[in-house]
């Protein structure tokens, strides 16, 4: 059942929990970023008021400086999050799955569980869900806000919940989720600002400052230089890559695409890399007539998806599995990159009319 505001969502949550209180509640995260982390722990806090102790499982890894800093500084909290590899999905109906910051069942980031989850609860702010609304589920997808943490704080405020001193890390993560997903509050709504203000009174100012002004490793600047070197531009479109990377560098394409997207005259940016036998894509777009999410799926083998920000900018990405990992070695890495680069350039730019 679709929910359109705080009251209807919380009322449905209460009814659902009452009906399934003997089940195991599992929060599922499709990726790691501040909005996803904050909303996962926010939902766990809300469920705890109904005497439900939810578990949290995440896809992906704590890549990137900011995520790693959160992991290290709030380790006593983050340790409650477990990798998806430790999750066992049972088929006996004994689990209640909760999606935060995603509305898609079919998602390569879920690995073997892509398309297998049947979420009973969804709270998200992205467009393009593939979950069918029924009387048995509780879906709240609000695309008018810039962050899922905004919705969580809305509920906390309406319930008049007071976070304790020990819960200051939770407040900080919620504030950080809003701040980062709205691009430092530059792409936000009145509700985002109100939620940020409401929760910031309970956060740690020092921790928040550290999470915003984190150090960047040398590898980021190396990859930025590679992206500049490997750029191909045609008209308002730009495609580049940073080659093979490690897990710790896997988020670099997202940050690099944000930077390149600010270049004058560029309306579409695709930055890619290869990590763990997968092509990882980060895409930014501002072409109002382009159906962004559909274009991503069509262009990148139905292995990508995206969202539109409040100002109409598209932000998306994808993971394309490679099936020849055993064939890749140091001696042929350049050949592999060349093959993938040619295919992606063809996909984005189309066939060059001058080519035979």
What mean pLDDT value characterizes the chain? 93
Count of CB atoms situated within 10 Å of the CB of 115: 12
At 186-196, the pLDDT tens digits run 999 999 999 99
Please indicate, yes or no, if residue 196 is contained in any of the structural domains.
Answer: yes
Residues 172 and 223 in one domain: no
Q: Which phi-psi region, left, alpha or beta, contains residue 265 (left: φ > 0; alpha: ψ -120 to 50)?
A: left
What is the value of pTM for the model shown? 0.89
CATH of the domain at 233: 3.10.310.30
Please indicate, yes or no, if residue 354 is contained in any of the structural domains.
Answer: no
Closest CA to 6 of 140, 162, 193: 140
Whether 11 has a pLDDT exceeding 70, the answer reads yes
Task: Tell the residue number behind the tokens 């209180």, with chain if given.
Answer: 21
Q: Beta strands 95-100 and 81-83: pairing type?
A: unpaired
pLDDT value at position 201?
94
Alpha carbons 95 and 135: distance in angstroms, whole number: 18
Q: Beta strands 55-58 and 278-285: pairing type?
A: unpaired
pLDDT value at position 305?
83
Strand ranges in the chain using DSSP code E only, listed in sequence order: 24-29, 55-58, 81-83, 95-100, 121-124, 138-141, 232-234, 237-244, 268-275, 278-285, 304-308, 314-321
Helix (H, G, I), strand (E, B) or coil at 74: coil
Residues 208 and 224 in one domain: no
Please indicate, yes or no, if residue 84 is contained in any of the structural domains.
Answer: yes
Whether 75 has a pLDDT exceeding 90, the answer reads yes
Quote the percentage of the chain above a pLDDT of 70.
Answer: 97
Give the domain range for residue 222.
218-349
Number of domains in the chain: 2
At 245-290, the pLDDT tens digits run 999 999 999 999 999 999 999 999 999 999 988 999 999 999 878 8
pLDDT value at position 321?
87
Quote the percentage of the chain above a pLDDT of 90.
Answer: 80
- Mean pLDDT for 323-338 is 84
- Mean pLDDT for 30-44 is 97
Q: Which residue has the higher pLDDT, 60 or 231?
A: 231
pLDDT value at position 356?
33
pLDDT band (50, 70, 90) for residue 224: very high
- Which structure tokens are listed for 278? 């997968």
């Amino acid at each position: 059942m679709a929910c359109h505001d705080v009251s209807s969502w919380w009322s449905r949550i209460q009814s659902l929990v009452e009906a399934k209180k003997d089940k195991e509640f599992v929060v599922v995260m499709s990726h790691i970023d501040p909005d996803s982390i904050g909303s996962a722990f926010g939902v766990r806090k809300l469920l705890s008021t109904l005497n439900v102790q939810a578990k949290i499982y995440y896809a992906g890894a704590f890549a990137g400086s900011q995520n790693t800093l959160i992991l290290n500084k709030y380790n006593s909290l983050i340790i409650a999050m477990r990798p998806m590899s430790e999750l066992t999905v049972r088929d006996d109906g004994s689990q209640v799955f909760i999606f935060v910051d995603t509305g898609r069942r079919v998602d390569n980031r879920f690995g073997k569980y892509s398309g297998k989850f049947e979420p009973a609860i969804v709270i998200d702010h992205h467009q393009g869900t593939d979950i069918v609304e029924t009387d048995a589920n509780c879906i709240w997808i609000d695309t008018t806000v810039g962050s899922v943490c905004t919705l969580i704080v809305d509920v906390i405020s309406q319930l008049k919940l007071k976070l304790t001193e020990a819960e200051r890390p939770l407040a900080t993560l919620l504030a950080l989720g809003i701040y980062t997903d709205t691009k430092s509050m530059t792409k936000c709504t009145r509700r985002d600002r109100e939620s940020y203000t409401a929760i910031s009174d309970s956060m740690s100012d020092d921790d928040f400052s550290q999470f915003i002004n984190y150090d960047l490793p040398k590898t980021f600047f190396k990859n930025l230089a590679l992206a500049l070197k490997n750029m191909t531009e045609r008209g308002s479109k730009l495609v580049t890559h940073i080659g093979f990377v490690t897990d710790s560098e896997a988020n670099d394409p997202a940050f690099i695409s944000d930077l390149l997207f600010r270049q004058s005259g560029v309306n579409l940016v695709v930055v890619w890399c290869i990590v763990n036998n997968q092509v990882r894509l980060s895409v930014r777009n501002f072409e109002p007539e382009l159906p962004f999410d559909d274009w991503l799926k069509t262009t990148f083998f139905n292995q990508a998806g995206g969202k539109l920000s409040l100002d109409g900018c598209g932000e998306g990405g994808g993971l394309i599995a490679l099936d020849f990992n055993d064939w890749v070695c140091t001696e042929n890495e350049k050949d592999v990159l060349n093959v993938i680069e040619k295919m992606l350039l063809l996909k984005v730019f189309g066939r060059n009319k001058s080519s035979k």
